[in-house]
Structure 1
């Protein structure tokens, strides 16, 4: 009897244990992947598991998770096109799944957390939430869902996988640029999940196919980035492109689907010759951010770019020093013109300056998904100068959008038109710049909405000379040129006839010699009707992007602009930006007149007092008195820099139409295919064509 009882107990124990093991095996299945997909699968899991969040983040998510698997913080009825908040649900599930599978997490393989992950995943799969934006269904949802499926795969039921597969199959390889990269990445990961090596290979090739200079949207020959037509999209689509390319490079590393060896060089160039130029003191240039003028976006974009650079240090170890330098914005100094994007950057260790223009070739900006709804003039010569990095940080609710820094605009009372992604080009043809790597010139023969002006920016070392001429409007309203519009920081000093006064409030039509505010000086060599305001202004983020609630905010704003009067005819302006200025520096600059300036409809030129640096914009063929006489037979921009035994000569064609320019310069110089006649050296410049049209041609004219 006793033996029978003991036998019964042992048998029952063994059956129970066997059942538990079987149950455990059913819930945590061993995953089987074909040999050629195993490493790829491991790479994907490792990538996402390493994105672990702090326990506090998980605690907060679980606090707001409701019994039915939804989050109390999400409005699931919201169908807004831009920044669709319902999608946060999948991001939350993904975060929970990552910590669940990370061995260093407090929640590693926590049974209670597993149940909540399944419940919240099922809530999405059962409801299949849809926005009104195609992007969410085809790109955003699969992109967030796929990591969850990989992380939880050994616990998923067949029913869950079947429902998820329906959502995943909305992604197809199509389109171009970053949209194609997004879609192809979704297809590649879906194919991995479904164990389809051939489809993985096709998707990998499609992604790599976008790692080349594009004729349409994508990376351009000057290392800028375009999307939605010929439109600068460094910080919107371009930054996502860089992130995703690095991610995909990591996914397929050491697998049969790995990227070709030359692709890492392409990514390196994109960072070192492109992206790193537009980050300054941990802020991303406003003008390079596309339509995404959101709260704290400059800081977020800069942080994202720095993360990319850190990852490239690991993937591209031979260039680790170059990436380290790219992480420190004060190391990069120089001048760069992005000829495919009508965008120019000038920077030193002490300041950052950029000019964003547009033309018949280049789209200035866009307003999509009710974002950037005030940005009608964002491509009209917006010129931003920064020493601290904070001058324009979150300033958008308070900007007067008809007085954007650097722009010449008709001041009518009509609401600004809301532009679409393909609807913003000016009538301007002669738009571009020249650069020798240290200094440069940006030029824009502006023509838009019955307003014309010749606008230019001469960037010489630590000063920027800003010129405008031929300002003409057929409309009756006042036309202004905005010099700057930034947060008010400290006092505003006004210098006139060796006297200095402190500005208070608002002043109209004053004629100062110079103005100093927040470490930046403004010198007025030819005077002009200067207007200054330092008032408290009201603003709202809702005015910028409709995703925000119409909450009224207030800030002290510094505004400085020139007035050209009503219906101006051939008006002009000149002012000089002096970063890291002081009272003493501004007074000395005014007294010694640092530049000789010519400023008319036919020609704009600037020569430094020591005559070592000079720049000329020929709006038509002609001759300049600079260097004793420089003549050309077609419109162009020329930059000259005097060296000990040669003259550095840089030239470009902003119209991007010419194939050659005939140049004559006084004096005898040695240059290939030149001839010396009647005291002048004559030579022909053969200009770049195709994707290189508009690029600077740089020569050394050796002195004889």
Structure 2
């Protein structure tokens, strides 16, 4: 009996001690950190407290918070992989924790709010909700849980802290690219919470290891970003990477774990030489969104990028002027080819154009977590022109995904296959571009699913000349080259043999001089048989990404395309995109064609009417008549521009296989290691290798 009583009192005392420990949240104990972690702890808290949530948002979250700590708007049983909705519980909880700890908040240290935060935290810790996506357990849950634990640390019970650490322990430093950065950031925050300075240092080092020009996934030598193989990922992993890196930069700044200077330089270059290029007029390039073709996503990603620029301006103070310029998204003007990503951008203050290609080297797109489920052709030369920041915004439910702007595609009746990551490359080898910084040429020797075409885009100032030749297919279905698909805005004006027709709604295989719609002109140098439709179409976001409900929508859509018929042999096309066009401008183009064009299966070239600008795509070694005669001994792309005292000469190898190219040009020019023989200057171009392979070589040919 005495033994029983003794055991009873021991258990009672243990229970009282446990309850005392678990009631710590009522006492609001003072949190202290060792000296080497004090600044890091302060930085982390300041980072999360810098953006005070709107009181309206907090009030709404409290209105839908239930007695048991769950939110009535969340289905906790769902297994949706894409943007797992259950994770919103932790996002909402973090918002309340920030409001509770923000001194300017009306709910600062409010006892009622504190109880609700702890109730909601306990609800998650008790149930430990698991998604069908590994990412959520290892990355997403710790990412949103750890900041709340740090913000509420002074009130946490031992049980809450222990359970929270168990969930956070699922994040380990492993993998590469952005996944590694996410995981290491979670480890850093967890280690801070545990006062483990040694592991904090390891996590900071692991994060900085990804601040480099990577041979595999990560930042590339042209300042694009790859993930899931050699695939352009500016808008999803690449933007997350930027946000996460800046976050970690802010965390460790002025601490023993701070970023090294040369690592900060990599981050700076990625912002200014990479991300900045695809952000125009507060809109993010559709071609850079990757699989994230969501509602309002162009504007959302643009807003996120602007936040990154503002943060870099504060952290990287020596370059604040550069970030200020980048924040004025129309200021950047020029032409850039991303040779590691088969991606080309041409932009001016009043328009933005890009073309996204793919090859045997570069993956075109992906469909993961039931996203981008119609995007089978999104890497097949999609060419998009914007003259305002609403271009293509939310058009995706209404797109004909076999007539994407810029593409040459088989019009069969088969359902589009779903592409997994690393699963999509075309058979093309000669894919790339050349640039002199102001103008450029993109080229794609297209070969996919039995359709072949030689496609090029000559970007000269405020015009884009689009050429296609040697179009062939053995498939018994129509082949089309799409020019554009967008929302119908205002009247469509067309010209036939100089006769102008307004408010046109349909044209079928019509000989057109030009088309004008929504301030974009489409000029046909040779009367092209074109098709035009402005139908009311039915669409659904659910056809784009399964995360959306299958609700049907209707919109008027403008669609312009060319037909090459079934089983074409050596078909071709030529048209010119004219941004910020007017009826008068299109009439002027019709009267005086601004370019001389060659469009064959061995060579495509464009020369401006004043002959000051010219470009040549050599699909085989040979000679072009431009500038009196230019010969090359291997396939390449050349861009020429007359300057006052020299000829600007830019050349690249889209195949990325050559080490050198022999060139001869009529006239006597001063070039290192050149020879002047029989009225021609002969010289050898040594091409960039390794991580620079495919990059433009630019020379100044001075006349003797």
TM-score, normalised with respect to structure 1: 0.96
Q: Secondary structure at the match of 2:526?
A: coil
- Corresponding residue of 2:34: 34
Measure how far apart 1:25 and its partner are: 8.7
- Corresponding residue of 1:269: 269
Q: Supply the distance in 2 between the matched residues of 1:381 and 1:203 (Cα, whole angstroms).
A: 40
Q: Is the 8 A contact 2:452 2:473 kept in 1?
A: yes
- Corresponding residue of 2:493: 493
Q: Supply the distance in 2 between the matched residues of 1:210 and 1:240 (Cα, whole angstroms).
A: 13
Measure how far apart 1:498 and its partner are: 2.5
Q: Is the 8 A contact 2:25 2:156 kept in 1?
A: no
* CA deviation map 1:119-148 (0-9, x unaligned): 000000000000000000000000000000
Q: Secondary structure at the match of 1:137?
A: helix
1:240-639 matches, within 5 Å, as 240-639=240-639
- Corresponding residue of 2:670: 670
Q: Secondary structure at the match of 2:402?
A: coil
Q: Secondary structure at the match of 2:228?
A: coil
The reply to whether residue 657 of structure 1 matches residue 657 of structure 2 is yes
* CA deviation map 1:4-26 (0-9, x unaligned): xxxxxxxxxxxxxxxx9x98896
Q: Supply the distance in 2 between the matched residues of 1:449 and 1:23 (Cα, whole angstroms).
A: 66
Q: Supply the distance in 2 between the matched residues of 1:396 and 1:69 (Cα, whole angstroms).
A: 38
Q: Which moved more, 1:315-324 or 1:637-646?
A: 315-324
- Corresponding residue of 2:180: 180
RMSD of aligned alpha carbons: 1.2
Relative to structure 1, the CA distance from residue 86 to residue 630 in structure 2 (aligned partners, 3 Å threshold; closer, same or farther) is same
Q: Supply the distance in 2 between the matched residues of 1:528 and 1:439 (Cα, whole angstroms).
A: 26
Q: Supply the distance in 2 between the matched residues of 1:321 and 1:370 (Cα, whole angstroms).
A: 41
Q: Secondary structure at the match of 1:688?
A: coil
Q: Supply the distance in 2 between the matched residues of 1:151 and 1:348 (Cα, whole angstroms).
A: 45
The reply to whether residue 680 of structure 1 matches residue 680 of structure 2 is yes
Q: Supply the distance in 2 between the matched residues of 1:213 and 1:159 (Cα, whole angstroms).
A: 43
- Corresponding residue of 2:4: none
Q: Secondary structure at the match of 2:512?
A: coil
Q: Secondary structure at the match of 1:185?
A: helix
- Corresponding residue of 1:201: 201
Q: Secondary structure at the match of 1:40?
A: helix
* CA deviation map 1:309-337 (0-9, x unaligned): 01111111222221111111211100000
Q: Supply the distance in 2 between the matched residues of 1:669 and 1:113 (Cα, whole angstroms).
A: 78
Relative to structure 1, the CA distance from residue 59 to residue 25 in structure 2 (aligned partners, 3 Å threshold; closer, same or farther) is closer
1:92-131 matches, within 5 Å, as 92-131=92-131
Q: Supply the distance in 2 between the matched residues of 1:236 and 1:202 (Cα, whole angstroms).
A: 26
Measure how far apart 1:27 and its partner are: 2.1
Measure how far apart 1:620 and its partner are: 0.6
Q: Supply the distance in 1 between the matched residues of 2:402 and 2:134 (Cα, whole angstroms).
A: 33
Q: Is the 8 A contact 2:25 2:155 kept in 1?
A: no
Q: Supply the distance in 2 between the matched residues of 1:582 and 1:256 (Cα, whole angstroms).
A: 60
- Corresponding residue of 1:15: none
- Corresponding residue of 1:50: 50
Give the total of aligned pairs: 684
- Corresponding residue of 2:220: 220
Q: Is the 8 A contact 2:521 2:581 kept in 1?
A: yes
Q: Which moved more, 1:503-512 or 1:385-394?
A: 503-512
Q: Supply the distance in 2 between the matched residues of 1:488 and 1:54 (Cα, whole angstroms).
A: 37
Q: Supply the distance in 2 between the matched residues of 1:107 and 1:371 (Cα, whole angstroms).
A: 39
Q: Is the 8 A contact 2:376 2:418 kept in 1?
A: yes
* CA deviation map 1:176-218 (0-9, x unaligned): 0000000000011111111111100001000001001000000
Q: Which runs of 5+ in 2 are unaligned?
A: 1-19
- Corresponding residue of 2:145: 145
Measure how far apart 1:32 and its partner are: 2.1
TM-score, normalised with respect to structure 2: 0.96
Measure how far apart 1:584 and its partner are: 1.1
Q: Supply the distance in 2 between the matched residues of 1:528 and 1:464 (Cα, whole angstroms).
A: 17
Measure how far apart 1:611 and its partner are: 0.3
Q: Is the 8 A contact 2:492 2:505 kept in 1?
A: no
- Corresponding residue of 2:3: none
Q: Is the 8 A contact 2:24 2:157 kept in 1?
A: no
Q: Secondary structure at the match of 1:576?
A: strand
Q: Which moved more, 1:23-32 or 1:518-527?
A: 23-32
Q: Which runs of 5+ in 1 are unaligned?
A: 1-19
- Corresponding residue of 1:163: 163
Q: Secondary structure at the match of 2:664?
A: strand
Q: Is the 8 A contact 2:25 2:154 kept in 1?
A: no
Q: Supply the distance in 2 between the matched residues of 1:25 and 1:94 (Cα, whole angstroms).
A: 17
Measure how far apart 1:263 and its partner are: 2.0
Relative to structure 1, the CA distance from residue 621 to residue 24 in structure 2 (aligned partners, 3 Å threshold; closer, same or farther) is closer
